């Protein structure tokens, strides 16, 4: 698989299909996540994916942009799911939420070894709060 294929499948297999065996195989044991989530290793990466799966059911991923240069893969990704679990302290609303995120990956010898993720936390929080029921 090319670097782009590995990263593309990271999103599809990890977030959408919940195929954590794929993540364990294609994310390095010494993986470093430079985002606020801060995973260290492929097992912690799977843990973060499981948390997201609890927060957003029926999650669909659309990779809007993806390109590679010298083992670095840059992406712009659309996340679309049902807010089904507590996220950012906001209880589940069962409302659909969509947001775009930027995530970059370093791939070495067929494995993701580092990533930098930038989710629009304020936008996500505003969307979640806007979907809260009003009395």
Its pTM surpasses 0.85: yes
Compute the distance between CA of residue 130 and CA of residue 126 in angstroms, rounded to an integer. Answer: 6
Mean pLDDT for the stretch of residues 107-122: 95
Closest to 55 measured CA to CA, from 115, 114, 99: 99
Residue 38: its pLDDT value, please? 87
Compute the distance between CA of residue 74 and CA of residue 84 in angstroms, rounded to an integer. Answer: 29
Mean pLDDT for the stretch of residues 6-15: 97
Residues contacting 97, CB < 8 A, separation 6+: 56, 79, 80, 81, 82, 83, 124, 127, 128, 131
The proportion of the chain whose per-residue pLDDT surpasses 70, expressed as a percent, equals 99
Reported as a single tens digit per residue, the pLDDT across 40-95 is: 999 999 999 999 999 999 999 999 999 999 999 999 999 999 999 999 999 999 99
User: DSSP readout, 54-114?
Assistant: HHEEEEEEEEEEEEEETTEEEEEEEEEEEE-S-BTTBPP---EEEEEEEEEEEEETTEEEE
């Amino acid at each position: 698989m090319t670097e782009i294929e590995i990263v593309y499948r990271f999103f599809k297999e990890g977030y959408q299909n919940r195929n954590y065996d794929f993540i364990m195989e294609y994310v390095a044991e010494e993986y470093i996540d430079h985002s606020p989530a801060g995973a260290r290793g492929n097992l912690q990466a799977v843990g973060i994916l499981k948390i997201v799966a609890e927060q957003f059911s029926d999650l669909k991923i659309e990779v809007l942009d993806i390109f590679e240069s010298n083992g670095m893969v840059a992406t712009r990704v659309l996340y679309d799911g049902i807010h089904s679990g507590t996220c950012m302290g906001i209880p589940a609303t069962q409302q659909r939420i969509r947001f775009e995120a930027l995530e970059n990956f370093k791939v070495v010898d067929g494995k993701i070894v580092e990533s930098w993720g930038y989710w629009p936390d304020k936008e996500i929080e505003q969307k979640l709060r806007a979907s809260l029921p009003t009395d």
